[in-house]
Amino acid sequence: MKIGIFGTGMVAQVVGGALMARGHDVQFGTRDVAGTLARTEKTGMGSAPFSAWIKDNPKATLAPFRDAARHGEVLINATAGGGSLAALASADPKDLAGKILIDIANPLDFSKGFPPTLSVCNTDSLAEQIQRAFPALKVVKSLNTVNASVMVSPAVVSGDHTIFVSGNDAAAKAEVQRYLGEWFGWQRSSILDLGDITTARGTEMFLALWIRLYASTKNPMVTINVLQGTTAAR
């Protein structure tokens, strides 16, 4: 499958690398190709710059956002949340129409240091903003509540844990659930459909807790599992 990934950071690298390892044709999108390839400093998460990573992954291609949108039969948003709308706005609308966009970005704001705040929350979400701005896209929010390594290989954390999907298009959500299983090994029983795109507010706001779990445990592989019991008597 041809997949267009918006973004070149650590998450994009991990997800794109896993997809290429499974035989998919992945093109990464960036605002400035020459600038991205000239950058030699590590990413904000401490991983290798894309210029070094792509040398070790020569099957990957890098192009402007517009071209990555055209390339992908399915699109993945792995940009920093603050740049997501601008990145997608670089695409030709006809190259977005009818496509699934798996939104794995979070609207984290590091302008005041660590821990970050959320640039949008409570009454809105990044996923909703994307869906409103690009109504022809089928936006499905998923994978944004776990570390990138867990996104592409849930078995790296022993035991059961839950991943979520949110979106307005039921067929698109079903397709994404299939991709999560076929691409990355998520069991269907571990995928929880939260509902329409407004439910992405919950998974994006979970990042406030996830960051503190990470800080407390010193382990970025921390995840959650949703357990359900019988209804308590009232």
Q: Where are the domains of the chain?
A: 2-217
Residue matched to tokens 């698109």? 172
Report the alpha-carbon angle 98-73-19, nearest 5: 140
Instruction: Name the architecture of domain 2-217.
Output: 3-Layer(aba) Sandwich (3.40)
Q: Tell me what pLDDT residue 47 has.
A: 76
pLDDT tens for the chain, 234 residues: list them: 999 999 999 999 999 999 999 999 999 999 999 999 998 887 766 678 999 999 999 999 999 999 999 999 999 999 999 999 999 999 999 999 999 999 999 999 999 998 999 999 999 999 999 999 999 999 999 999 999 999 999 999 999 999 999 999 999 999 999 999 999 999 999 999 999 999 999 999 999 999 999 999 999 999 999 998 987 665
Q: Tell me what pLDDT residue 63 has.
A: 98
Cα–Cα distance for residue pair 204/18, rounded to 1 Å: 23
Whole-model pTM? 0.95
Cα–Cα distance for residue pair 50/36, rounded to 1 Å: 7
Q: Tell me what pLDDT residue 42 has.
A: 77
> Who contacts 183 (Cβ-Cβ below 8 Å, separation ≥6)?
18, 19, 22, 24, 152
Q: Residue 147 in contact with residue 107, Cβ under 8 Å?
A: no
Q: Tell me what pLDDT residue 234 has.
A: 59
Q: Are strands 74-77 and 163-167 parallel, antiparallel or unpaired?
A: unpaired
Q: Tell me what pLDDT residue 145 has.
A: 98
Integer angstrom CA distances of residue 28 from 115, 135, 145, 176, 196:
28, 23, 22, 19, 28
Secondary structure element (H or E) that encloses residue 166, with its range: strand 163-167
Q: Tell me what pLDDT residue 43 has.
A: 73
Integer angstrom CA distances of residue 206 from 106, 120, 166, 200, 214:
10, 13, 14, 10, 12
What are the backbone angles phi and psi of residue 139, rounded to the nearest 5°?
Answer: -80, 125
